[in-house]
Amino acid sequence: MTQHLLSILIWLPIMGGAALIAIGDNKDAASSRAGLMRIAALAVSVATFLISIALYAGFDNAATGMQFVEKEPWVASLNVFYSLGVDGISTPLILLTTFITPLVVIAGWDTIKNRPAQYFAAFLILEGLMIGVFSALDALLFYVFWESMLIPMFLIIGIWGGARRVYATLKFFLYTFLGSVLMLVAFIYLYGQTGGFDLFGFVDAPLTLTAQKFIFIAFLLAFAVKVPMWPVHTWLPDAHVEAPTGGSVILAAIMLKMGGYGFVRLSLPIVPDGSEYFAGMMIALSLIAVVYIGFVALMQKDMKKLIAYSSIAHMGFVTLGFFILWSVSGNAGAGLGMSGGMVQMISHGLISGAMFLCVGVLYDRMHSREIADYGGVANTMPVFAAFMVLFAMANAGLPGTSGFVGEFMVIIASFKANFWYAFLAASTLILGAAYTLWMVKRVIYGEVANANVAALTDLNTREFIVLAILAVSVLLVGLWPAPLVDMMNVTIEQLIEQVGQSKL
Amino acid sequence: MNMMDYMVAAPEMVLLGLICLVLIADLFTDDEHRVRTFWISILALVAIFFVIDGTATESRTVIFSGSYVSDPLSQILKMAAVIFVGITFLYSRDYLRANEIHKGEFYLLGLIGLLGMMIMMSANSMLTVYLGLETLALSLYALVAIDRNNVTSAEAAMKYFILGAIASGCLLYGISWVYGVTGSLQFHEIAAAISTDPSLNNLPLWFGLAFLIVGIAFKFGAVPFHMWLPDVYQGARTPVTLYIASAPKLAALALFLRILVDGLGVLHDTWAAMIMVIGVLSLLVGNFAAIAQSNIKRMLGYSTIAHVGFILLAFFCGTEQGNAAALFYTLTYVVAAAGAFGMIILLSRRGYDAENLADFKGLNARSPWFALMMMFLMFSMAGVPPFVGFFGKLNVISAVIDSGYTGLAVLMVLASVVGAYYYLRVIWYMYFEEAEDQAVLQASTDTRLVLSLNSVAVLALGIVPGWLLALCIQILG
């Protein structure tokens, strides 16, 4: 089984989703058939998670190169391979994916009234495709998973989203589609240079600086849209606000990570000189995201929008951590920035997912995301308030939570690079605390604002379980990040060495 | 000339015989039992399929004093054409019956059109090409007008006929110039004549070439000779649109391959620039104009123009890889097009054509299965993986980049993003909107089954595209 572990992780949820679609849907969410669908979806997602534990257990932290490798010819005449494998960068992201999906399934349990089977099927298929992106070692296979992923998300936002869902989902699809088609052109160009789509072939291919610059730009468009980086972030607030809670969670927790993953898996090793050439610009864009978007978040009146902007700011740390590589002297500092970015990705996956779930809990009761409609929620929902405050603190980067670890590592690394980078990056400690805690203050604390808030009921068991699991994991990563960092170390060292070798 | 020579042309001859049979059988069938004509036609198609398969050879055989050629290319195209004509008949049957235009002529003209296509696919001389082309074109003109009481159909037929006649005239005029310069009508002799005497490669020949390209571009529906296409797609009854949109595209591909690659391939440098301009214009005009349409048949008409742009740009490369990409693209596009028009027929019923985009609203609530199938078809046409349309585009773009035109490739992918919008709109209507029309879908079981297979094929071919691609490369390699 271990030699096909990745294939199982990819295809089990996809097949499960296909089965849900095939068995058909029932408009009545309360029927026993719909209930069976939910249980089946949960079973598949939990089974996927349990199998992914085998991936964690079997993963060798000390080994260099790819593990759990599978390679079969796929399209022989184009030299495309069905080639999978994971290393220290992709394994944590796969685990994050398999961890978040069951929670999303539980979160949608009885809140989705309309076509539940299709809803759960979309998430399961999406899960398989996302794992595919993180484990593909062939550029075309990567691209196929990368683009296919848009289809379920397009439907999730469009069918189960809010009032402006059509606008939001079309914007999401076209924005990301436009970003990624140029990556395809870059892949085909590299295919012409190397005769195959193998990512390692791309890494070894000699490329001129001009070619590297163009390829970097093509990759940048694809990944910057996904991350998203300022100024191509505008699709994200719309998509987040309109998406159903589960969609927002997956979008924030995992899909945004694809962009960061793309930078480390493709941009840095394939076009090291191109990356170095544009590193200054990337740092500038990251800092703009951290500072400017932080201020934008401060001004939001809609909770989901606020968290969406906070995601952009936090993802700015990720790209900052990756691209200060050349400004830092010595491998230790570079490694710190890189690991910081990676830890930040995992941590942001947990925290933003939890924040969106919290907003979802409120939205299910009040059908409003406006901060102004709330106030004094702690009086009627004390347990919920405790969770929300914990996640808000984590979002603000409180030591002891996962949010602190990544940000701190990146700030330390940027101090080694340039004082002003660190100065601007550290402003997030104030801004992040300001926008998150101000929101919490207005929503959770104070007098009970109106009759609707007074009528709120506290978390039910289902919601409690989901938030409790996330709370534990946020604290776990915050207090004991060693297992996560150890998993990445060898790969990151290897990556830094690779990036250090000029292709010119 | 012995009997064996005739055997090579058996598919066309048997088809002609069977057409006579269908004609006679149809005479003795009354309207109530018209479905018999359908079944006889289907049997005829099955028989033809096996005749083509039985007479297929690995090698290239030229007979009838060099006018007719049988090679793997012609065989694969003929088989595909037979299949798509069969699918067209099947999807159309119930619609024609419900709308009281269930005439034997539909099948008869469909079969005659198929004969024309097969002649074009096997043509080895300008005259054979022209003969096949006119056989096909005349059947199509009559088919468009098959519902003679329908004003829009009649108008579309008239437009098609007049413009088609002009295009045929251009083609014939071009043929006469090429004949005048090279002294031959047969493709291999034309190619040989130009190779041996390079001085022929001069203005008079180019003049004829330009007219040939006008004729070919018209048949493809490429910009700026596309005016007829949206009108005919919209005006013709949906089964006829389905017929025009599927198999004849394969014949147009054959027309291009036979005349411009087999015959005038040595002039690639001369025609490439014209083809590129036409291809790029088709891509842009098709994609942008499709956005503005509210009639789905017209929208798919403009989308066809955009797809034709892709096919022409594959030919523009002039490499074996490019030609194979064009073949792959056309074959897979026709699968998706047949499915999409089949879906429009599926939603139609007695006295009601589901030809507006709005008719697709809420299809997911009415029939989740067929909404899913239509989604497959639309994503395939948009070129989103894992559907086969993605591999079609990938091959073409790959061929273009290999020929050194990376800028053109960037333009092509950007045009695809524009194109994605109107395909997404169909999906949006199906999934995100409430149904305006709650009628139950009325298709019979065999239609449902074939339509489902047709749609699942775009996914299956997208997951295992290797064999078809290898076949295309082998045929044109």
**Would you call A210 an interface residue with chain B, using a CB distance cutoff of 8 Å?**
no
For residue B2, the model assigns a pLDDT of: 65
**DSSP H or E stretch at residue A481:** none
For residue A331, the model assigns a pLDDT of: 61
Half-sphere exposure of residue A358, counting CA atoms within 13 Å on the CB side? 31
d(CA B323, CA B313): 10
d(CA B422, CA B382): 9
**Does residue A290 register a pLDDT over 70?**
yes
Burial of A200 (0-12, 13-18, 19+ CB in 10 A): middle
Tokens describing residue A52: 């992914």
Compare CB distances from B384 to A151, A155, A165 and report the shortest one's residue.
Answer: A151
% of chain B residues with pLDDT over 90 = 58
Compare CB distances from B385 to A118, A143, A158 and report the shortest one's residue.
Answer: A143
Does B384 contact A148 at a Cβ distance shorter than 8 Å? yes
Mean pLDDT of A41-60: 90
Q: Chain A to chain B, count of Cβ pairs less than 8 Å apart? A: 94
**Would you call B244 an interface residue with chain A, using a CB distance cutoff of 8 Å?**
no
B473 CB neighbours in chain A (<8 A) are 77
d(CA A50, CA A235): 34
Residues with Cβ < 8 Å from A461, sequence gap 6 or more? none
% of chain A residues with pLDDT over 90 = 19
The DSSP symbol for A371 reads G
Smallest Cα–Cα separation from B238: which of B359, B410, B380, B378? B359
Q: Which of B363, B411, B413, B473 to mutate to test the interface with A (most CBs of A within 10 A)?
A: B413
CA A161 and chain centroid, separation? 20
d(CA B363, CA B426): 10
Mean pLDDT of A364-385: 84
**Would you call B427 an interface residue with chain A, using a CB distance cutoff of 8 Å?**
yes
Quick one: CA dihedral A398, A400, A403, A405, positive or negative?
Answer: positive
Q: DSSP string of A57-71?
A: HH--TT--S-EEEEE
B323 CB neighbours in chain A (<8 A) are none
Residue type, B440: V
The DSSP symbol for B29 reads -
Q: Which of B283, B396, B398, B461 to mutate to test the interface with A (most CBs of A within 10 A)?
A: B398
For residue A77, the model assigns a pLDDT of: 85
B386 CB neighbours in chain A (<8 A) are 144, 148
For residue A65, the model assigns a pLDDT of: 82
Tell me: the pLDDT tens digits for A119-156? Answer: 889 999 999 999 999 999 999 999 999 999 999 999 99
A155 CB neighbours in chain B (<8 A) are 427, 431
Mean pLDDT of B153-182: 92
**Does residue B379 register a pLDDT over 90?**
yes
CA A128 and chain centroid, separation? 15
Residue type, A408: F
Q: DSSP string of A290-357?
A: HHHHHHHHHT-SBHHHHHHHHHHHHHHHHHHHHHGGGTS-SHHHHHHHHHHHHHHHHHHHHHHHHHHH
- Is B412 in contact with A191 (CB distance < 8 Å)? no
Residue with tokens 């003795």: B28
For residue B207, the model assigns a pLDDT of: 92
Mean pLDDT of A292-319: 89
**Would you call A147 an interface residue with chain B, using a CB distance cutoff of 8 Å?**
yes
Smallest Cα–Cα separation from A267: which of A208, A327, A224? A224
Total number of residues shown for chain A: 504
Tell me: the pLDDT tens digits for B400-417? Answer: 998 889 899 999 999 999
The DSSP symbol for A78 reads G
For residue A27, the model assigns a pLDDT of: 65
A75 CB neighbours in chain B (<8 A) are 391, 465-466, 469
d(CA A171, CA A238): 8
For residue B1, the model assigns a pLDDT of: 55
Compare CB distances from A174 to B364, B421, B465 and report the shortest one's residue.
Answer: B421
**How do beta strands A80-86 and A67-75 pair?**
antiparallel
Does A78 contact B473 at a Cβ distance shorter than 8 Å? no
What residues 289-348 of chain A have any CB closer than 8 A to a CB of chain B?
none
**Does residue A348 register a pLDDT over 60?**
yes
Tokens describing residue A330: 């010595």
For residue A28, the model assigns a pLDDT of: 65
Does B420 contact A173 at a Cβ distance shorter than 8 Å? yes
Mean pLDDT of A26-44: 78
Average pLDDT for chain B: 90
A221 to each of A182, A185, A228, A430, B420, how far by Cα in Å? Answer: 8, 12, 10, 30, 18
d(CA A352, CA A309): 11
CA angle centred on B239, ends B235 and B243, rounded to 5°: 95
In the structure, what pLDDT confidence band is assigned to residue B175 with cuts at 50, 70 and 90? Answer: very high
d(CA B382, CA B34): 38
Q: Which residues of B185-202 are buried (b: 16+ CB within 10 A; e: fewer)?
A: bbbbbbbebbeeeeebbe
Residues with Cβ < 8 Å from A148, sequence gap 6 or more? A129, B384, B385, B386
Residues with Cβ < 8 Å from A22, sequence gap 6 or more? none
**Does residue A26 register a pLDDT over 70?**
no
**Would you call A128 an interface residue with chain B, using a CB distance cutoff of 8 Å?**
no
- Is A125 in contact with A14 (CB distance < 8 Å)? yes
In the structure, what pLDDT confidence band is assigned to residue B177 with cuts at 50, 70 and 90? Answer: very high
Compare CB distances from B398 to A25, A169, A191 and report the shortest one's residue.
Answer: A191
d(CA B223, CA B219): 11
Residues with Cβ < 8 Å from A189, sequence gap 6 or more? A211, A215, B401, B406
Tell me: the pLDDT tens digits for A153-173? Answer: 999 998 888 888 889 899 999
Compare CB distances from A75 to B372, B414, B465 and report the shortest one's residue.
Answer: B465
Does B431 contact A147 at a Cβ distance shorter than 8 Å? no
d(CA B415, CA A218): 16
**Would you call A165 an interface residue with chain B, using a CB distance cutoff of 8 Å?**
yes
In the structure, what pLDDT confidence band is assigned to residue B78 with cuts at 50, 70 and 90? Answer: very high
**Would you call B430 an interface residue with chain A, using a CB distance cutoff of 8 Å?**
no
Tell me: the pLDDT tens digits for B1-36? Answer: 566 778 888 899 999 999 999 999 999 988 888 888
Q: B213 vs chain A: nearest CA distance in angstroms?
A: 30
d(CA B238, CA B224): 25
**Does residue B331 register a pLDDT over 70?**
yes
Range from A319-333, A427-441, B150-164 carrying the lowest mean pLDDT: A319-333
User: At residue B123, what are phi and psi to the nearest 5 degrees?
Assistant: -70, 140
- Is A400 in contact with A385 (CB distance < 8 Å)? no
Residues with Cβ < 8 Å from B153, sequence gap 6 or more? B144, B145, B146, B147, B235, B236, B237
3-state secondary structure of B145: coil
Residue with tokens 């059109």: B113
- Per-residue HEC secondary structure of B311-370 comes to HHHHHHHCCHHHHHHHHHHHHHHHHHHHHHHHHHHHHCECCECCCEHHHHCCHHHHCHHH
Burial of A285 (0-12, 13-18, 19+ CB in 10 A): buried
Residue type, A186: A
Smallest Cα–Cα separation from A360: which of A108, A96, A102, A92? A108
Smallest Cα–Cα separation from A381: which of A441, A459, A440? A459
Compare CB distances from B386 to A148, A155, A169 and report the shortest one's residue.
Answer: A148
**Would you call B394 an interface residue with chain A, using a CB distance cutoff of 8 Å?**
yes
For residue A497, the model assigns a pLDDT of: 82
**DSSP H or E stretch at residue B432:** helix B406-432
